[in-house]
Amino acid sequence: MKLIILILSALFIKIDGRIGRLEEDDFTEINWVHCGERPLIHHDSPHKIVGGQESLKGDWPWQIALTYNNRLICGGSIINSYWVVTAAHCVYSSLDPSRYKIISGLHDTNAHDSFTDIKSVSKIIVHPGYSNFGYRNDIALIKLSERLIFNDYIMPVCIPDLTFNLTNQDGIATGWGSQYSGGPISRYLMEVELPILSDTKCKEKYQSVETTTAICAGDNGLNIDTCQGDSGGPLVVGYESDHEHKRDDEHDHDHDHDQFFLVGITSWGYGCGDGGVYTRTSAYKNWISEIVKNN
């Protein structure tokens, strides 16, 4: 029988063949000590949507599917056990919480797993500066009606601050969006690795973009991109954290990164295949913190 191990005040226990984390986060805050961890990370995953590939089950545990009237419309990211962040344009047309559901631990849209969790929504908060014209401040927060229980397949992502360096970085975007412009959504969660452009190159490509609140990822001619249906989903960058924590021996994989940070939220672009624009989450960290704390 699996031993129960107490490590750094976190309790782990074997449940149905996986490690269930019984510790709870503080749902009035973001950036829990275990945020951005991928307990089931596959060291043989190529890490290479349009031009992407199917992800491995459980690889991106903060990814959620946002449904409206039971139809998948967008992605999003778990930031704590009660809150999800997505793009404002995903929810702006209807702020009625009863019409939405959040699905976490989802891989195959046609076949839910035992760890897949569906929650109702209690509150939707769109950034007050959001504009449909140019998708400025394209960010919204969704509060769940019930608390998420974190495990290997459901975990929050970290939110970076303004000091997070994106120079010469590649990000990984995930979602169930179309694999070509105008196509159907993907059955399986897809992933794609995208180069993050400098602010100068971003402005050259999209003159209307305000680079203090948005970033560009992907570029012309690469044929790798996010597409319709990926909106609101995560663009993450890995970072080797300086805090020490251990995992159960069975999950002692070769991690490329200790933590992943949500640097962008899929927002908009011209067609699919030549890159796009993402909401720069570091610019909204204080706003996110205030909403989560006071609601």
Helix H, strand E, coil C: the string for the chain is: CCCCEEECCEEEEEECCEEEECCCCCCCCCCCCCCCCCCCCCCCCCCCCECCEECCCCCCCCEEEEEECCEEEEEEEECCCCEEEECHHHCCCCCCHHHEEEEECCCECCCCCCCCEEEEEEEEEECCCCECCCCECCCEEEEECCCCCCECCECCCECCCCCCCCCCCEEEEEECCCCCCCCCCCCECEEEEEEECCHHHHHHHCCCCCCCCEEEECCCCCCCECCCCCCCCEEEEEECCCCCCCCCHHHCCCCCCCEEEEEEEEEECCCCCCCEEEEEHHHHHHHHHHHHHHC
Give the range with max mean pLDDT: 46-50, 224-228, 269-273: 269-273
Among the listed residues 186, 231, 267, 282, the single catalytic one is 231
231 included as an active-site residue: yes
Asked if the domains at 61-156+286-294 and 170-243+256-282 fall in one CATH topology, the answer is yes
**With 50 as the cut, is the pLDDT of residue 243 above it?**
no
CATH of 170-243+256-282, one of 3.40.50.300, 2.40.10.10, 3.40.50.620, 3.10.20.30: 2.40.10.10
Q: Which of 84, 62, 277, 82 is nearest to 191 (CA)?
A: 62
Q: What is the mean pLDDT of residues 180-199?
A: 88
CATH of 61-156+286-294, one of 1.10.8.100, 3.40.50.620, 1.20.120.430, 2.40.10.10: 2.40.10.10
**With 70 as the cut, is the pLDDT of residue 283 above it?**
yes
| pLDDT value, residue 2 | 35
CA 141, 291, 61, 160 torsion: positive or negative?
A: positive
| pLDDT value, residue 51 | 58
* Mean pLDDT of the chain, nearest integer: 84
**With 90 as the cut, is the pLDDT of residue 105 above it?**
yes
**With 80 as the cut, is the pLDDT of residue 256 above it?**
no
**With 70 as the cut, is the pLDDT of residue 197 above it?**
yes
pLDDT in tens, 3-50: 333 333 344 443 443 445 556 788 899 999 999 999 987 554 544 355
| pLDDT value, residue 1 | 36
pLDDT in tens, 128-183: 999 998 899 999 999 999 999 999 999 999 999 999 999 999 999 999 987 777 77
| pLDDT value, residue 227 | 74
Among the listed residues 138, 152, 225, 230, the single catalytic one is 138
178 included as an active-site residue: no
Q: Are the C-beta atoms of residues 196 and 173 closer than 8 Å to each other? A: no
Question: pLDDT over 90 for what percent of the chain?
Answer: 67
Among the listed residues 34, 81, 89, 267, the single catalytic one is 89
Question: pLDDT over 70 for what percent of the chain?
Answer: 80
138 included as an active-site residue: yes
User: Where exactly are the structural domains of the chain?
Assistant: 61-156+286-294, 170-243+256-282
pTM of the model: 0.85
- What tokens appear for 79 in the block? 């930031």
| pLDDT value, residue 224 | 67
**With 60 as the cut, is the pLDDT of residue 230 above it?**
yes
Which neighbouring-strand residues pair with 261?
158, 237
| pLDDT value, residue 218 | 84
Q: What is the mean pLDDT of residues 96-114?
A: 97
Residue bearing the bigger pLDDT, 271 or 279: 279
**With 50 as the cut, is the pLDDT of residue 184 above it?**
yes
pLDDT in tens, 84-93: 999 999 999 9
133 class by beta-carbon count within 10 Å (0-12 exposed, 13-18 middle, 19+ buried): exposed
Contacts of 295 (CB under 8 A, 6+ apart): 123, 125, 143
**With 60 as the cut, is the pLDDT of residue 263 above it?**
yes
**With 50 as the cut, is the pLDDT of residue 249 above it?**
no
Q: Which of 36, 24, 16 is nearest to 240 (CA)?
A: 36
Of 21-25, 195-199, 248-252, the poorest mean pLDDT is in 248-252
| pLDDT value, residue 280 | 98
